[in-house]
């Protein structure tokens, strides 16, 4: 497959954020909630994860219009034991529900040392580290899990049966966070969608076609099966993330979950947010000293052939964000630009000019 040589269009970060927010407000979200969703998408682009950035905005809008996702984002409390809370998201906006879970988990961790909040009947929430980084800023180590629509075959099978089921762990560090955010497949499904938008080939280790052949064609991969990371280990982790996010919370799991690109189907996905208050484990100062020692040891490891530097989890994203903010612009794939322009015409929200 030939590369599309005209794949990027620059736009000011502030203009893009404002456009996304106004578009969501036009579809019924409150100003506060629209800003949260828009910020989560633009932040993913700033971190260099365009697969989870504004590329997804048209998907969210389509789901709001069909009613598969509810703009009101009302939720009800099902169980509250103090340290643990279970919410029914009633098909509301994933970002709003997950941010609520994050805040409640942190609040409870400050009281009990640990706070756990489960959410059932939610929607896609964007990038998991968006929320674990927030908990880190409040002095908590946190774990966030979610389940997703089937993308990989159970180990030994040949049909989709379990989702990528991403998860994130974030820990406070140096005013920011050490943070991991991964799907349990060889690649996040959004990266395949991004490659399709860019008209770029994908590695043949990412996916199989619907009839089980390795492929470098992103369009074929979307309809096929994404391979698990680390073979059977990736499958096992993904299975257990479905237990935490869907089975335990009472939400949908396995084949019962629908992805954000299916505009007419309710998602049914669930989330689990666990926060651990650092101070409850001793003192923040001692925690920081131990973490800094670990980071120093890792950074001082002799480099393998071809490597130029060792990064700690989240460091590459921090550098991407700093570079993009210094420039003041983001580069969007041409197809994303076209999709946003169409969305702007439909909602009466003009797309900002190219920077």
What is the per-residue pLDDT across 285-321, written as a single tens digit (0 to 9) for each? 999 999 999 999 999 999 999 999 999 999 999 999 9
Query: What is the rounded CA–CA span in Å between residue 346 and residue 167?
Result: 34
Query: What is the rounded CA–CA span in Å between residue 351 and residue 179?
Result: 33
CB 253 within 8 A of CB 167: no
Residue pointed to by tokens 């499958």: 235
Which residue spans within the chain are E strands per DSSP? 8-12, 76-80, 84-88, 114-122, 140-146, 167-173, 176-182, 207-208, 225-226, 269-277, 329-333
3-state secondary structure 29-67: CCHHHHHHHHHHHHHHHHCCCHHHCHHHHHHHHHHHHHC
Quote the tokens at residue 183. Answer: 């799907």
- Tell me the pLDDT band of 3, cut-offs 50, 70 and 90: very low
pLDDT value of position 102: 98
pLDDT value of position 149: 95
CB 6 within 8 A of CB 333: no
Using a pLDDT cut of 90, give the percent of the chain over it: 79
First-to-last alpha carbon distance for the chain, in angstroms, is: 30
Task: Tell which residue, 39, 9, 5, 1, has the closest CA to residue 21.
Answer: 39
DSSP 74-126: --EEEEE-SSEEEEE-TTB-HHHHHHHHHHHHHHHHHHHSEEEEEEEEE---S
CA 295 to chain centre: 25
- Tell me the pLDDT band of 231, cut-offs 50, 70 and 90: confident
Beta strands across the sheet bearing 114-122: 76-80, 84-88, 114-122, 269-277, 140-146, 167-173, 176-182
Most confident range (mean pLDDT) of 150-164, 221-235, 291-305, 330-344 is 291-305
Note the pLDDT tens digit of each residue in 33-56. 999 999 999 999 999 999 899 999
Query: What is the rounded CA–CA span in Å between residue 82 and residue 355?
Result: 50
* CA distance readout (Å), 232 to 101, 207, 223: 31, 15, 22
CA torsion sign for 175, 272, 166, 326 is negative
Task: Tell which residue, 223, 201, 196, has the closest CA to residue 210.
Answer: 223
Query: What is the rounded CA–CA span in Å between residue 45 and residue 94?
Result: 18
pLDDT at 151 over 80: yes
pLDDT mean over 109-133: 98
- Tell me the pLDDT band of 206, cut-offs 50, 70 and 90: confident
pLDDT at 6 over 60: no
Helix (H, G, I), strand (E, B) or coil at 12: strand
CA 152 to chain centre: 18
Average pLDDT, the chain: 93
Name, in order, each residue with C-beta under 8 angstroms of 216's C-beta and a sequence gap of 6 or more: 1, 201, 202, 203, 204
pTM of the model: 0.92
pLDDT at 230 over 60: yes
pLDDT mean over 313-332: 97
């Amino acid at each position: 497959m030939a590369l599309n040589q005209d794949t990027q269009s620059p736009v000011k970060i502030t203009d893009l954020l404002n456009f996304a927010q106004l578009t969501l407000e036009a579809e019924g979200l409150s100003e506060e909630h629209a800003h949260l969703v828009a910020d989560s998408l633009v932040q993913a682009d700033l971190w260099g994860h365009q697969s989870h950035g504004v590329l997804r905005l048209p998907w969210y809008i389509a789901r709001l219009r069909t009613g598969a996702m509810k703009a009101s984002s009302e939720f009800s409390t099902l169980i509250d034991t103090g340290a643990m809370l279970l919410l029914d998201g009633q098909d509301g906006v994933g970002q709003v529900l997950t941010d609520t879970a994050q805040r409640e988990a942190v609040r409870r961790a400050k009281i009990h040392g640990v706070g756990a909040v489960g959410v059932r009947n939610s929607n896609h929430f964007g990038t998991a580290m968006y929320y674990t980084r927030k908990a880190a800023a409040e002095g908590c180590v946190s774990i966030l899990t979610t389940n997703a629509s089937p993308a990989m075959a159970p180990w030994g099978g040949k049909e989709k049966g379990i989702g990528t089921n991403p998860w994130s762990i974030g820990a406070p560090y140096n005013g920011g966070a050490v943070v991991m955010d991964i799907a349990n497949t060889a690649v996040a499904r959004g990266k395949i969608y991004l490659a399709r938008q860019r008209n770029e080939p994908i590695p043949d280790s990412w996916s199989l076609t619907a009839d089980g052949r390795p492929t470098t064609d992103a369009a074929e991969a979307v309809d096929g099966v994404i391979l698990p990371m680390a073979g059977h280990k990736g499958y096992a982790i993904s299975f257990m993330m479905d237990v935490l996010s869907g089975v335990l919370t009472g939400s949908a799991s396995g084949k019962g979950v629908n992805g954000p690109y299916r505009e007419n189907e309710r998602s049914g996905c669930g989330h689990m947010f666990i926060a651990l208050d650092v101070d409850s484990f001793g003192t923040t100062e001692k925690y920081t000293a131990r973490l800094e020692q670990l980071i120093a040891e890792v950074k001082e490891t002799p480099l393998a052939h071809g490597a130029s530097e060792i990064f700690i989890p989240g460091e590459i994203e921090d550098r991407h964000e700093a570079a993009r903010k210094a420039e003041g612009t983001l580069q969007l794939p041409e197809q994303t630009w076209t999709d946003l322009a169409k969305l702007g015409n439909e909602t009466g929200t003009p797309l900002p000019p190219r920077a």
